[in-house]
Amino acid sequence: MEILNFIIPFIILLTVVVFVHEYGHYYFAKKYGVGITDFSIGFGKEIFGFNDRSGTRWKFCLIPLGGYVKFFGDRNVFSQTEQEELLKKYSVEDQKKLFVTKPLYQRSLIVFAGPLANFILAIMIFAFIYMFAGKDFTPAQIQEVQKNSPAFISGLKSGDTILEINKKKVNSIMDVSTYINTSTKEYIEIKVLRNDRDISLKIKPKIIQSKDALGNALDKKIIGIKVSPLNGAFNRERLGPGTALFYATKETWFVTTASINFIIQIFKGKGDTKQLGGPIKIAKITGQVAQHGLIAFLSIMAYISISLGFINLLPIPMLDGGHLMFYAFEKILGRPLTQKTQEGFFRIGLFLLIFLMLFTTINDLKDIGIF
């Protein structure tokens, strides 16, 4: 019964973010007149589904780890000659519904629309939370500085109010830990307000083995300060639609740029690869978060949606970003890459995806204590 507490929230979350991603592709494909034969949530054997008036089969399949939109006449066409051969198989009317006959900008928008839909979903979720549950604006005032800690050595003092971390404005006490732990720099620059003066300090954090709020192990950066609201009073405000959208967009952008910096650090050999997780870890965290209520569940859905959009934009063949990379080459060269070249890229992309799946699965198994 306990496993259902993890599996059910995970399936709900994944269904929503995958549906939104695929609907982004679907919407722009329909907009530009591309025929769509299937809209699937999941892979494998169909569990149930229905046909709409345009002939699209909407279905849920047995393996709920992804989804796809299948276009009419869907196949890779690597050259002009192949495209001409393909067109001979269809009537003039059906040719208009083929994805490969659409202008480059339309194909690019159809592909980009999936990740874009995920970012929009995250913005809408954050805005909803800020409007109805509120956003915290409690000033980040330091109540205690541990003796001989990095903060103590650098000159931070009790009573300082943190204004910025790495040139990012600190709007809330909640931002402090987030900005410190997502920093990829050796030294963290902190601007504080002290006696009506702005003071900037550089601090080298310690990295310790710790646990997050849900009890999951992680490496945590600390500088040795206790930040808490005066008299325990948090300042949480419900925002209007415009302000909520502003902060929601800002949060989505922050998570996206933090993900980019994390990938860069991994390529440099400095990133913490233990934090990479796959479906097992996502299911575990989703189940843990769901027990804390709807707002917490919606928050993790927003973060997973951003991750799905971001990962799909990576320039890896077989992902949306890989297709966009091919279209960029097509624009520069004035023609598609040759079949041999594209197949070579696809082999590399398949290898990278299989390697990533194996790596994250091993991390997941370590996380739950199997390895």
Give the dihedral of Cα atoms 21, 25, 26, 32; nearest 10 deg.
160
Tell me the range of 60-69, 103-112, 143-152 where mean pLDDT is highest.
103-112
Q: For residues 301 and 18, is the Cβ–Cβ distance under 8 A? A: no
Q: Which residue would you say has higher pLDDT here, 53 or 340?
A: 53
Report the pLDDT value the prediction gives residue 296, as an integer from 0 to 100.
Answer: 84
Question: What amino acid positions are annotated as catalytic residues?
Answer: 22
31 pLDDT above the threshold of 80: yes
Dihedral (CA of 68, 72, 73, 78) sign: negative
Q: How many CB atoms lie within 10 A of CB 94?
A: 13
Model confidence at 30, in pLDDT bands (50, 70, 90)? very high
> Which range is least confidently modeled, 84-98, 169-183, 206-220?
206-220
Q: Which residues pair with 43 in a beta bridge?
A: 63
Domain map (residue ranges) of the chain: 4-132+302-367, 135-237
77 pLDDT above the threshold of 60: no
Residues 6+ apart with CB under 8 A from 111: 25, 320, 323, 324, 327
Write the class of the CATH domain 135-237: mainly beta
pTM of the model: 0.84
Report the pLDDT value the prediction gives residue 293, as an integer from 0 to 100.
Answer: 80
- DSSP strand pairing (142-145 vs 168-169): unpaired
153 pLDDT above the threshold of 80: yes
pLDDT digits (tens, 9 = 90+) for 295-349: 888 988 998 899 889 989 988 888 899 889 989 988 898 887 777 787 788 788 7
Model confidence at 51, in pLDDT bands (50, 70, 90)? very high
28 pLDDT above the threshold of 80: yes
Report the pLDDT value the prediction gives residue 1, as an integer from 0 to 100.
Answer: 44
19 pLDDT above the threshold of 80: yes
